[in-house]
Structure 1
Amino acid sequence: MSAPRRFDAIIIGAGQAGPSLAGRLTAAGQTVAMIERKDFGGTCVNTGCMPTKTLVASAYAAHLARRADDYGVVLDGPVGIDMKRVKARQQTVVKNARGGVEGWLRGMKGCTVFQGHARFESADTISVGDDLLTAPKIFLNVGGRANVPDMPGVNDIPYLTNVGMMQLDTLPEHLVIVGGSYIGLEFAQMFRRFGSRVTIVEMGPRLIGREDPEISDAIREILEAEGITVRLNAECIRFSPHEDGACVHVTCKAGEPQVTGSHVLLAVGRRPNTDDLNLEAAGVETDKRGYVVVDDQLRTNVPGIWAMGDCNGKGAFTHTAYNDFEIVAANLLDDDPRKVSDRISCYGLFVDPPLGRVGMTEAEARATGRPLLVGKRPMTRVGRAVEKGETAGFMTVVVDAKTKQILGAAILGLNGDEAIHGMIDLMYAKAPYTTIQRAVHIHPTVSELIPTMLGELKPV
Structure 2
Amino acid sequence: MSRRFDAIIIGAGQAGPSLAGRLTAAGQEVALIERHLFGGTCVNTGCMPTKALVASAYAAHLARRAADFGIVVPGPVGIDPKAVAARQQAVSATARANVERWLRGMPGCTVITGHARFHGPHAVAVNGEVLEAARIFINVGGRARVPDLPGLDRVPFLTNTTMLQLDSLPEHLVVVGGSYIGLEFAQIYRRFGSAVTVVEQGPRLIGREDPDVSEAVADILLREGIQLRLNAACIRLSPRDGGIAVGVSCEDGPPEVVGSHVLLAVGRQPNTDDLGLEAAGIATDAQGSITVDDELQTNVPGIYALGDCNGRGAFTHTAYNDFEIVAANLLDGARRRVSERIPGYALYTDPPLGRVGLTEAQVRARGRPALIGTRPMTRVGRAVEKSETLGFMKVLVDAESRALLGAAILGTGGDEAVHGILDMMNAGAPAPMLQWAVPIHPTVSELIPTVLGGLRPLA
**Same fold by TM-score greater than 0.5:** yes
1:12 alignment counterpart: 10
What's the RMSD between the two structures over aligned residues? 0.5
The whole-number CA distance in structure 2 between the counterparts of 1:452 and 1:76 is 42
- Secondary structure of the residue that 2:372 maps to in structure 1? strand
244-253 or 304-313: bigger deviation = 244-253
- Secondary structure of the residue that 1:420 maps to in structure 2? helix
1:270 alignment counterpart: 268
- Secondary structure of the residue that 1:126 maps to in structure 2? strand
The whole-number CA distance in structure 2 between the counterparts of 1:52 and 1:126 is 34
Aligned pairs for 1:75-90 within 5 A: 75-90=73-88
1:294 alignment counterpart: 292
Cα deviation, residue 131, structure 1: 2.0
8 Å CA contact 1:357–1:411 kept in 2: the answer is: yes
Task: Kindly provide the CA deviation profile for residues 275-319 of structure 1, in whole angstroms up to 9, marking residues without a partner as x.
Answer: 000100000000111000000000000011000000000000000
The whole-number CA distance in structure 2 between the counterparts of 1:387 and 1:84 is 34
User: Which 5+ residue runs of structure 2 have no aligned equivalent?
Assistant: none
2:353 alignment counterpart: 355
Task: Kindly provide the CA deviation profile for residues 147-168 of structure 1, in whole angstroms up to 9, marking residues without a partner as x.
Answer: 0011111111100000001000
- Secondary structure of the residue that 1:417 maps to in structure 2? helix
Task: Kindly provide the CA deviation profile for residues 222-271 of structure 1, in whole angstroms up to 9, marking residues without a partner as x.
Answer: 00000000000000001111122211001111111000110000000000
Cα deviation, residue 378, structure 1: 0.3
The whole-number CA distance in structure 1 between the counterparts of 2:377 and 2:246 is 37
Cα deviation, residue 132, structure 1: 1.5
- Secondary structure of the residue that 2:214 maps to in structure 1? helix
Aligned pairs for 1:206-217 within 5 A: 206-217=204-215
8 Å CA contact 1:176–1:199 kept in 2: the answer is: yes
1:442 aligns to 2:443 (yes or no): no
1:185 aligns to 2:183 (yes or no): yes
1:67 alignment counterpart: 65
TM-score, structure 2 as length reference: 0.99
168-177 or 236-245: bigger deviation = 236-245
1:156 alignment counterpart: 154
1:307 alignment counterpart: 305
Q: Which amino acid letter does the alignment assign opposite residue 333 of structure 1? A: L
1:454 alignment counterpart: 452
The whole-number CA distance in structure 2 between the counterparts of 1:132 and 1:87 is 40
Q: Which amino acid letter does the alignment assign opposite residue 458 of structure 1? A: R
The whole-number CA distance in structure 1 between the counterparts of 2:435 and 2:42 is 35
The whole-number CA distance in structure 2 between the counterparts of 1:182 and 1:200 is 12
237-246 or 265-274: bigger deviation = 237-246
- Secondary structure of the residue that 1:136 maps to in structure 2? strand
1:121 alignment counterpart: 119
2:403 alignment counterpart: 405
User: Which 5+ residue runs of structure 1 have no aligned equivalent?
Assistant: none
1:242 alignment counterpart: 240
Match of 1:110 among 108, 111, 119: 108
- Secondary structure of the residue that 2:300 maps to in structure 1? coil
Match of 1:364 among 358, 362, 366: 362
2:321 alignment counterpart: 323
- Secondary structure of the residue that 2:449 maps to in structure 1? helix
8 Å CA contact 1:244–1:260 kept in 2: the answer is: no
- Secondary structure of the residue that 2:95 maps to in structure 1? helix
The whole-number CA distance in structure 1 between the counterparts of 2:97 and 2:138 is 22
The whole-number CA distance in structure 2 between the counterparts of 1:194 and 1:303 is 51
The whole-number CA distance in structure 2 between the counterparts of 1:132 and 1:283 is 17
The whole-number CA distance in structure 2 between the counterparts of 1:242 and 1:113 is 48
* Divergent runs of 4+, >4 A: none
1:194 alignment counterpart: 192
Q: Percent identity?
A: 70
Aligned pairs for 1:411-422 within 5 A: 411-422=409-420
- Secondary structure of the residue that 1:227 maps to in structure 2? coil
The whole-number CA distance in structure 1 between the counterparts of 2:37 and 2:274 is 17
1:332 alignment counterpart: 330
The whole-number CA distance in structure 2 between the counterparts of 1:132 and 1:396 is 54
1:232 alignment counterpart: 230
Cα deviation, residue 420, structure 1: 0.1
8 Å CA contact 1:87–1:169 kept in 2: the answer is: yes
Match of 1:373 among 356, 371, 374: 371
- Secondary structure of the residue that 1:211 maps to in structure 2? coil
2:173 alignment counterpart: 175
Q: Which amino acid letter does the alignment assign opposite residue 218 of structure 1? A: A
The whole-number CA distance in structure 2 between the counterparts of 1:372 and 1:136 is 48
Q: Which amino acid letter does the alignment assign opposite residue 55 of structure 2? A: A
The whole-number CA distance in structure 2 between the counterparts of 1:182 and 1:210 is 10
Q: Which amino acid letter does the alignment assign opposite residue 70 of structure 2? A: G
1:223 alignment counterpart: 221
The whole-number CA distance in structure 1 between the counterparts of 2:271 and 2:171 is 33
Number of residue equivalences: 458
8 Å CA contact 1:51–1:166 kept in 2: the answer is: yes
The whole-number CA distance in structure 1 between the counterparts of 2:104 and 2:74 is 50
The whole-number CA distance in structure 1 between the counterparts of 2:271 and 2:206 is 24
Cα deviation, residue 130, structure 1: 1.8
TM-score, structure 1 as length reference: 0.99
The whole-number CA distance in structure 1 between the counterparts of 2:423 and 2:72 is 42
8 Å CA contact 1:211–1:361 kept in 2: the answer is: yes
Task: Kindly provide the CA deviation profile for residues 185-218 of structure 1, in whole angstroms up to 9, marking residues without a partner as x.
Answer: 0000000000000000000000000100000000
Match of 2:383 among 379, 382, 385: 385
